[in-house]
């Protein structure tokens, strides 16, 4: 057996741990040591290290002799310091047994207080303290807690027993029961215990102790603790520690009490001492909700000395930990004890405010402050939300995927057209669809929010909605839509056009009716804070990379571009041009183009689109005056442009003077079995060179016009879906010819670049070749993930959720970049690209560009820039700063 130290003491002159030992002692244990070291009054005790938990499970839920020995030694030390002995019938040592992992998991694991009491000892304490009420109150608490936690008794049965005595005595509060009443309660509790377990309540305190330690280690793997770790992505912990601590009693009488407090307001971050307490109570009473806890200000009034002592300790601890503290304290007969301190959980708003205040107060450096706020906390600040006061009364009628954050309320429409018409009338609508398609883009923009019955987190609806900042609940299977009847059946009720709905894209809930929404404001502190993030990321210098770490946005429309710029985007990293083809007039012209027989017919059809595209680009260049704009040439499959309904086909046939039947046959030839792997991206550029020529002409004509107006334009033409270097070679040459022509004809000078997406695995594998013809690479990690995994992001709903459930996958790879697989291709693409061009600009424009762990990867991979949807720009700015700091 090992001689490794596994149990750590804290107390007078003998504290064996400190705050740095969280992994070993858990957060609570480490902080109890630290507080003891600081001279804060803490009842002494000892901590069974997290390694004991691992050993417990490794040894089939038993303890090694070594562990038992170390516990015995520490118990003896504690008995010596306290001058009391566990199991002494007259004046026994009582202890609490508490869990405490390295990461706080509040309320998930078990606790037992007052351990060491027996039917004999309770009489001894009553006599010895002269406070029989306290003795019996402690015993009844212990039986209930131990019964519940250790022996599987029902909490409810104890409640019934307690209530029966209170009723018989005609009292309202527990505190109204006297010693005899509580003695009666104890008798009834002991009966409950016997009835449930078939055994008498254990009268051997050593047996109690080990059973309680067992229970706490056991609670590490209870269902809610496992779930909590899953939800909060807590992995790699070996287990919980167990703290055995001598009891202090808030239930000793009216000069005793217990409370919890925060050194600053956890909801707003405001710097005032915030907390609640109860006199003559133990910890569980504060949260149980039977008696209403008092505010700390009352304590200041009623016991200014104790209050001052508490404030001093609070200041000491906050100053020591340099963060907002969440404290637990107990007052026993007018003497204050601290039972816990930890960094307090807080809202996103509070996190930013506290971080900025701590810097202003000189407690933290800017970089330390940046690390104190997680990027995801910012997300809360950037979207409308349901008024919390109102939300608790809402009943969710369905739950889908939280596809795009924020809440939206309005009346139902079932078509994109209806949404646009309603918007024009000033109405607020929710667009409800089975799924959306590129043709719906106008309606999606017009709607307050989008609800779809099918599709995953990266379905069309989800991606577009996030890009637009529209709240979206996607893949909500409980919604059954009948397009013909214009109804949606949800939870058994039929909703018609005009009925009201509220959706919460942050958590996926759907509610009937129109909820009150609130729009959080971007405070001055947030701007200050993000400014610090920018200093860090723009000042970063990586080997061989001249610039810092940039953040751009994916934006297709001038209004989105402007929004992103407000949020701090340093340019557009991805301007998709497909939506420009899906609007009425242009779509029809494009359809004529794809079914035309000759190049001349096609060019003629494209002329109509050219003019409109020029206007599109002018708007975007104007919004991005002075900043670079990466424009991706047409990407989606031809398949998506093919008209499907007979009406559309007839209309097109008429326009073209063609037989509808013949047209239908030709269109069939254009439909594909796997459009995602079909005739799209630069493949269209090769087979229909006229399309890209027209787009390049539109970009450069707009650039020339804007330049003449004094606007600074930096277009970057991006060719999508390249897999073979010769695709890029040919298309670059074509583009160059058009650019030369436009610049010559307009007599303009425009700084431009021509680059490519790296989104086909083969492009990454042959990036040294591809780089010969690319001024920049932008990693399209959506498609790269699709191809590398062989997943269609439209179809992963069938198995990816189950994969995550069964832990085959840790995360949805469309949300969190897969560093092990896709990441290899990104690294390879960057390395091979820079073999050919040492200062090749590289960026990412997939959905991952706004996800913090992926941003960290991008920084390590040596990308110059990340690009994400407008509403994620602030998050990306912070995540980028974190990446710089964490990878120093």
Residues that bind a copy of itself (CB under 8 A): 454, 480, 638, 665, 669-670, 672-679, 683, 686-687, 721, 723-724, 726-727, 730, 759-762, 765-766, 769, 783, 786-792, 794-795, 798-799, 802-803, 806-809, 818, 820-822, 824-825
* Nearer of residues 600 and 795 to a copy of itself, judged by Cβ: 795
Query: Nearest approach, Cβ of 403 to a copy of itself (angstroms)?
Result: 17
Query: How far from 504 is each of 316, 398, 465, 472, CA to CA, in Å?
Result: 41, 11, 13, 7
Distance, CA of 404 to CA of 410 (rounded, Å):
17
Distance, CA of 678 to CA of 660 (rounded, Å):
25
Which residues 6+ apart lie within 8 Å of 541 measured at CB?
548
* Nearer of residues 258 and 459 to a copy of itself, judged by Cβ: 459
Query: Nearest approach, Cβ of 21 to a copy of itself (angstroms)?
Result: 33
* Nearer of residues 584 and 798 to a copy of itself, judged by Cβ: 798
Distance, CA of 443 to CA of 416 (rounded, Å):
4
**Residue 1: helix, strand or coil by DSSP?**
coil
Secondary structure E strands in 274-395: 274-279, 294-295, 325-332, 335-343, 385-386
Query: Nearest approach, Cβ of 596 to a copy of itself (angstroms)?
Result: 16
Half-sphere exposure of 288 (CA within 13 A, CB side): 12
**Which one-letter DSSP state was computed for residue 83?**
T
* Nearer of residues 254 and 668 to a copy of itself, judged by Cβ: 668
Query: Nearest approach, Cβ of 496 to a copy of itself (angstroms)?
Result: 20
Distance, CA of 28 to CA of 32 (rounded, Å):
6
**Which one-letter DSSP state was computed for residue 790?**
T
Query: Nearest approach, Cβ of 796 to a copy of itself (angstroms)?
Result: 8
Burial of 593 (0-12, 13-18, 19+ CB in 10 A): buried
* Nearer of residues 84 and 486 to a copy of itself, judged by Cβ: 486
* Nearer of residues 98 and 834 to a copy of itself, judged by Cβ: 834
Burial of 32 (0-12, 13-18, 19+ CB in 10 A): buried
Cα 795 versus chain centre, distance: 24
Contact of 258 with 277, CB cutoff 8 Å: yes
Contact of 447 with 430, CB cutoff 8 Å: yes
* Nearer of residues 322 and 639 to a copy of itself, judged by Cβ: 639
* Nearer of residues 452 and 705 to a copy of itself, judged by Cβ: 452
Distance, CA of 807 to CA of 522 (rounded, Å):
38
Contact of 112 with 145, CB cutoff 8 Å: yes
Distance, CA of 554 to CA of 865 (rounded, Å):
12
Count the neighbouring beta carbons within 10 Å of the beta carbon of residue 280: 23
**Residue 840: helix, strand or coil by DSSP?**
coil
* Nearer of residues 174 and 690 to a copy of itself, judged by Cβ: 690
The DSSP string of 104-153 is --TTTS-EEEEET--HHHHHHHHHHHS-HHHHHHHHHHHHHHHHHHTT--
Count each helix (H run) and each strand (E run) in the chain, helices first.
Answer: 35, 31
Query: Nearest approach, Cβ of 788 to a copy of itself (angstroms)?
Result: 5
Distance, CA of 485 to CA of 746 (rounded, Å):
54
Q: List the catalytic residue out of 153, 261, 575, 845.
A: 845
Query: Nearest approach, Cβ of 792 to a copy of itself (angstroms)?
Result: 4
Query: Nearest approach, Cβ of 755 to a copy of itself (angstroms)?
Result: 18
* Nearer of residues 275 and 797 to a copy of itself, judged by Cβ: 797
Secondary structure E strands in 673-775: 714-719, 753-758
| Residue 53 annotated to the active site | no
Burial of 833 (0-12, 13-18, 19+ CB in 10 A): buried
Contact of 280 with 253, CB cutoff 8 Å: yes
Which residues 6+ apart lie within 8 Å of 214 measured at CB?
61, 150
* Nearer of residues 171 and 686 to a copy of itself, judged by Cβ: 686
**Which one-letter DSSP state was computed for residue 264?**
S
Query: Nearest approach, Cβ of 670 to a copy of itself (angstroms)?
Result: 7
Secondary structure E strands in 333-440: 335-343, 385-386, 396-399, 401-404, 407-413, 429-433
Helix orientation angle between 646-656 and 584-595, rounded to the nearest 10 degrees: 70
| Residue 460 annotated to the active site | yes
* Nearer of residues 521 and 820 to a copy of itself, judged by Cβ: 820
* Nearer of residues 54 and 683 to a copy of itself, judged by Cβ: 683
Q: What φ, ψ does residue 153 adopt, rounded to 5°?
A: -75, 155
Closest to 227 in 3D by CA, of 812, 805, 801: 805
Distance, CA of 71 to CA of 8 (rounded, Å):
9
**Residue 329: helix, strand or coil by DSSP?**
strand
Q: List the catalytic residue out of 33, 153, 261, 460.
A: 460
The angle subtended at Cα 208 by Cα 207 and Cα 214, nearest 5°, is: 90
Distance, CA of 52 to CA of 62 (rounded, Å):
10
* Residues identified as active-site: 460, 845
């Amino acid at each position: 057996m090992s001689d490794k130290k596994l149990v750590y003491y804290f107390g007078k002159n003998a504290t064996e741990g400190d705050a740095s030992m969280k992994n070993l002692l858990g957060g609570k244990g480490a902080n109890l040591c630290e507080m003891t070291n600081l001279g804060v009054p803490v009842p002494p005790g000892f901590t069974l290290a997290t390694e004991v938990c691992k050993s417990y499970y490794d040894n089939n839920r038993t303890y090694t002799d070594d562990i038992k020995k170390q516990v015995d030694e520490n118990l003896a030390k504690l008995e010596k310091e306290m001058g009391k002995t566990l199991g002494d019938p007259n004046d026994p040592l009582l202890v609490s047994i508490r869990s405490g992992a390295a990461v706080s998991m509040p309320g998930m694991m078990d606790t037992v207080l007052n351990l060491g009491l027996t039917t004999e000892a309770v009489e001894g304490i009553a006599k010895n303290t002269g406070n029989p009420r306290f003795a019996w109150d402690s015993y009844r608490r212990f039986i209930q807690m131990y019964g519940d936690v250790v022996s599987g008794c029902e909490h409810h049965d104890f409640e019934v027993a307690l209530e029966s005595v209170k009723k018989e005595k005609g009292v309202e509060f527990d505190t109204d029961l006297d010693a005899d009443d509580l003695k009666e309660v104890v008798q009834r509790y002991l009966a409950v215990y016997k009835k449930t377990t078939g055994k008498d309540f254990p009268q051997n305190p050593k047996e109690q102790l080990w059973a309680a330690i067992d229970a706490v280690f056991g609670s590490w793997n209870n269902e809610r603790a496992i779930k909590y770790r899953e939800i909060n992505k807590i992995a790699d912990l070996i287990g919980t520690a167990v703290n055995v601590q001598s009891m202090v009693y808030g239930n000793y009488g009216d000069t005793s009490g217990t409370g919890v407090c925060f050194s600053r307001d956890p909801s707003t971050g405001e710097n005032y001492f915030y907390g609640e307490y109860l006199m003559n109570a133990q910890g569980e009473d504060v949260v149980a909700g039977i008696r209403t806890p008092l505010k700390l200000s009352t304590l200041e009034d009623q016991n200014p000395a104790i209050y001052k002592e508490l404030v001093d300790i609070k200041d000491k601890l906050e100053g020591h930990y340099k963060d907002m503290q969440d404290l637990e304290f107990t007052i026993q007969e007018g003497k204050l004890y601290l039972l816990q301190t930890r960094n307090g959980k807080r809202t996103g708003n509070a996190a930013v405010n506290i971080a900025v205040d701590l810097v202003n107060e000189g407690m933290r450096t800017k970089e330390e402050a940046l690390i104190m706020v997680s990027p995801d906390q910012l997300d809360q600040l950037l979207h409308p939300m349901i008024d919390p006061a109102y939300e608790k009364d809402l009943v969710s009628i369905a739950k889908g995927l939280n596809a795009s954050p924020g809440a939206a309320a309005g009346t139902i429409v079932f078509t994109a057209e209806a949404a646009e018409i309603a918007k024009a009338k000033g109405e607020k609508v929710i667009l409800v669809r089975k799924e959306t398609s590129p043709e719906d883009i106008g309606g999606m923009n017009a709607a307050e929010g989008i609800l779809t019955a099918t599709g995953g987190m990266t379905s069309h609806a989800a991606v577009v909605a996030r890009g637009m900042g529209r709240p979206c609940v996607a893949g909500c299977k409980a919604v059954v839509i009948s397009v013909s009847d214009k109804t949606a059946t949800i939870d058994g009720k039929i909703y018609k056009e005009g009925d009201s709905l509220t959706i919460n894209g942050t958590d996926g809930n759907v509610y009937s009716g129109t909820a009150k929404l609130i729009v959080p404001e971007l405070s001055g502190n947030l701007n200050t804070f993000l400014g610090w993030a920018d200093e860090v990321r723009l000042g970063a210098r990586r080997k061989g990379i001249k610039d810092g770490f940039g953040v751009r946005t994916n934006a297709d429309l001038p209004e989105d571009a402007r929004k992103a710029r407000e949020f701090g985007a340093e340019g557009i990293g991805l301007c998709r041009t497909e939506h420009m083809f899906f609007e009425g007039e242009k779509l029809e012209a494009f359809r004529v183009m794809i079914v035309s027989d000759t190049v001349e017919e096609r060019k003629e059809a494209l002329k109509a689109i050219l003019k409109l595209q020029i206007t599109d680009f002018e708007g975007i260049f104007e919004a991005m005056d002075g900043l670079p704009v990466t424009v991706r040439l047409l990407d989606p499959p031809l398949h998506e442009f093919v008209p499907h309904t007979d009406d559309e086909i007839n209309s097109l046939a008429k326009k073209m003077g063609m037989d509808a039947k013949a047209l239908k046959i030709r269109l069939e030839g254009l439909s594909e079995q796997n459009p995602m792997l079909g005739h799209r991206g630069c493949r269209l550029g090769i087979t229909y060179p006229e399309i890209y020529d027209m787009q390049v002409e539109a970009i450069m004509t707009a650039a020339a016009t804007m330049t003449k107006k004094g606007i600074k334009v930096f277009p970057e033409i991006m060719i999508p879906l390249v897999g073979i270097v010769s695709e890029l070679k040919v298309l670059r040459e074509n583009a160059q010819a058009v650019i030369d022509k436009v610049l010559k004809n307009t007599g303009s000078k425009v700084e431009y670049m021509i680059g490519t997406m790296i989104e086909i695995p083969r492009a990454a594998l042959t990036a040294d070749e591809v780089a010969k013809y690319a001024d920049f690479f932008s990693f399209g990690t959506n498609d790269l993930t699709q191809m590398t995994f062989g997943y269609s992001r439209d179809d992963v709903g069938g198995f990816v959720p189950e994969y995550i459930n069964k832990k085959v996958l840790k995360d949805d790879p469309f949300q969190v970049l897969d560093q092990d697989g896709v990441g290899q291709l990104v690294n390879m693409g960057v390395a091979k690209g820079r073999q050919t061009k040492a200062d090749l600009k590289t960026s990412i424009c997939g959905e991952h560009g706004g996800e913090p762990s992926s941003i960290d990867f991008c920084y390590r991979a040596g990308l110059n820039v990340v690009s994400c949807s407008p509403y994620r720009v602030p998050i990306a700015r912070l995540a980028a700063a974190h990446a710089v700091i964490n990878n120093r």
